[in-house]
Amino acid sequence: MRLQDKVAIVTGSTSGIGKSIAEGFANEGANVIICGRRQELAKGIVDELLSKGLKAIAIRLDVTIEESIDGLVNQVVDQYGRIDILVNNSGISPVWKRAEDTPKEAWDQIIATNLTGTFLCSQVVGRVMIEQKNGRIINMTSVGGEVALPRLVAYCASKAGIVMLTKVLAAEWAQHNIMVNGIGPSFVETDFTAGLRSNEKIYSDLKDKNPLKRFATPEEIVGTAIFLASDESSYITGQTIFIDGGWLTI
């Protein structure tokens, strides 16, 4: 029970990696806030966790709307009195196009959700953590924040921005005992990658780039998230840990 009674917000936790991390945190004793734009899904996950004797609540969140973030943080602080952990997991990648064909509207949407959303959530929660002189922030980035993924220009730019955002926040907030780190998966078998996996050639090509020759499962991301959220990582900050099956080694 490494996260016993900790208060943990996991954005984008109604499916995929975020859902698995939230469930992992709950199994470690945390009070988990399941949040995303699909409130019915969030409530269903909470009901499932509560039926197992775990602790969770559902709050709707749109990370592109500042008022939505403020409302979530105020509600969590009112109910629990603190926020110990924030996982910035919300992210989108709606286009698979070459840079010259990427619409500006898609670029704006991806940057607003992935990068600006991560900054805004970190900023609002960071103010709470500064007051309490303690906290853990985990930002979900990607191998696409480290190497180029063709046809994903906006996605890669947003994730590279998160890598640097992680470093700057870590440097600024270390004095407040707030550890800020990132997790960078390669491709994971979730609804997020369903479109890619439906194309046999693209799916095969992406697996071939990975020494393990497969995509990760969401559950393979959870252990690192628990480690970074726990006291076991008390001297680690500003780092991005890549869970990539060896992708970046070749």
Active-site residue set: 155
Q: Read off the tokens for 41.
A: 């899904």
**Residue 218: closest CA among 45, 15, 16, 34:** 16
CA distance 66 to 139: 18
**Residue 117: closest CA among 35, 177, 39, 199:** 35
Phi (first) and psi of residue 70, to 5 degrees? -60, -45
User: Can you state the percent helix, strand and coil of the chain, rounding each to 5?
Assistant: 55, 15, 30
H or E stretch covering 81:
none
Number of other residues whose CB lies within 10 A of the CB of residue 22 = 32
